[in-house]
């Protein structure tokens, strides 16, 4: 199985996993956008806690924020969208694609672990 990087088309905004941690509102094309903070919590426009967030450009989001839920400080905010960084977009991609990628990662890890075990046995 070949690993491919997440492209802009991979983000699934209709995923049932995307909802505001506080009000459970889900994103829609016009009424609500959702954001993830680096502590892992997701918020809608109303609860992200940044005044004027609805008019802020996704590329110009605050880099030193406090999470409205767990109060972790220094977290970064990312809009959940097709333009989000690939390392975050993978968590919002098609579920089967995500599971396939994680299965591939696990297989590679197991192969590496087995190779280390064989080398260790050979050297003893």
| Residue 88 in tokens | 């975050």
Report field, pTM of the whole predicted structure over 0.75: no
Specify whether 33 is located in the same domain as 76.
yes
20 CB neighbour count, 10 Å cutoff: 22
Do the domain assignments include residue 4?
no
Specify whether 16 is located in the same domain as 53.
yes
B/e letters for 42-64, b = 16+ CB within 10 Å, e = fewer, are bbbbebbbbeebeebeeeebeee
Specify whether 88 is located in the same domain as 38.
yes
Do the domain assignments include residue 74?
yes
Specify whether 48 is located in the same domain as 105.
no
Nearest to 5 by CA among 67, 77, 85: 85
Question: How many independent structural domains does the chain possess?
Answer: 2
Specify whether 15 is located in the same domain as 71.
yes
Range of the domain at 58: 10-93
Nearest to 65 by CA among 55, 57, 83, 53: 53
Specify whether 73 is located in the same domain as 109.
no
The span from the CA of 29 to the CA of 40, in Å, is: 22
> Tell me, what's the pLDDT at 42?
92
Specify whether 58 is located in the same domain as 116.
no
Specify whether 99 is located in the same domain as 84.
no
> Tell me, what's the pLDDT at 41?
92
Specify whether 99 is located in the same domain as 67.
no
pLDDT for 53-107, tens place per residue? Answer: 544 455 566 677 888 889 888 888 888 887 888 888 877 877 677 778 778 888 8
79 CB neighbour count, 10 Å cutoff: 20
Nearest to 10 by CA among 75, 84, 71: 84
Do the domain assignments include residue 5?
no
Specify whether 102 is located in the same domain as 119.
yes
């Amino acid at each position: 199985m070949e690993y491919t990087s997440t492209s802009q088309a991979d983000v699934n905004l209709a995923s049932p996993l995307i909802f505001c941690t506080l009000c459970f509102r889900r994103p829609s094309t016009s009424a609500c956008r959702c954001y993830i903070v680096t502590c892992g919590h997701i918020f809608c426009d109303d609860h992200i806690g940044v005044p004027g967030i609805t008019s802020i450009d996704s590329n110009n989001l605050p880099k030193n924020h406090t999470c409205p839920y767990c109060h972790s400080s220094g977290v970064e905010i990312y809009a959940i969208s097709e333009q989000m960084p690939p390392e975050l977009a993978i968590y919002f991609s098609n579920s089967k694609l995500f599971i396939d990628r994680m299965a591939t990662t696990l297989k590679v890890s197991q192969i590496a672990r087995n190779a280390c075990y064989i080398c260790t046995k050979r050297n003893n």
